[in-house]
Amino acid sequence: MTTDALVLDAAAQDLLFREARTANTFTEEPVSEEQIQAIYELVKFGPTAFNQQPLRVVLVRSAEGRERLVQHMADGNKAKTSAAPLVAILAADNEFHEELPTQLPHFPQAKDMFFTERSVREQSATLNGALQAAYFIIGVRAAGLAAGPMTGYDAAGLNKEFFGNGEHSVLAVVNIGKPGEEAWFPRSPRLAYDEVVTTV
């Protein structure tokens, strides 16, 4: 079996990938600050270009914050976002380059050599922020929780509501918690190895 070629044990493979699903319902069990911090402390080590770290996370815990969020969600996502124990707004900081001198100490001049133009920063922040968002979802699974990532929302509205300074761009909204009853849709197909991988 191909699983035998992996160092990660089969149970962990299942937890993170094969058995993990996008949850649509959750129990009322709360998600603690300690759990989210543990997730971040794990996934912050995922690789990005220039060690840039554009991901920013807003945890929506208050009723007022949830109301502000839900008004910008697509109709099909409003009910489950209202009911989830915790919701995280994942965004890319388009001014990430300001931190490069401390986060890339062996090459601090990268900030001014590559990222002076806003359009370049936005493209890089979107790509690397999306990488970090994927790491975050895997981290949620590693904590024994389910993630329900969504991109069905009014992005301009969310950016204005939660990031009014114009320096951030929303990447995804993620419901987080223990999966509830009938949490899963049927598993959708995946492309086969030979349909994806070529060798030259």
> Per-residue pLDDT tens for 40-95?
999 999 999 999 999 999 999 999 999 999 999 999 999 999 999 999 999 999 99
| CATH superfamily label, 22-178 | NADH Oxidase (3.40.109.10)
Please give the pLDDT value at position 26: 96
Question: Could you report the per-residue pLDDT of 15-44, keeping only the tens digit for each?
Answer: 999 999 999 999 999 999 999 999 999 999
**pTM here?**
0.95
Question: Is 15 buried (19+), middle (13-18) or exposed (0-12) by CB count in 10 A?
Answer: middle
State the pLDDT at residue 4. Answer: 82
Q: Which residue type, as a one-letter code, is found at position 156?
A: A
Domain extents in the chain: 22-178
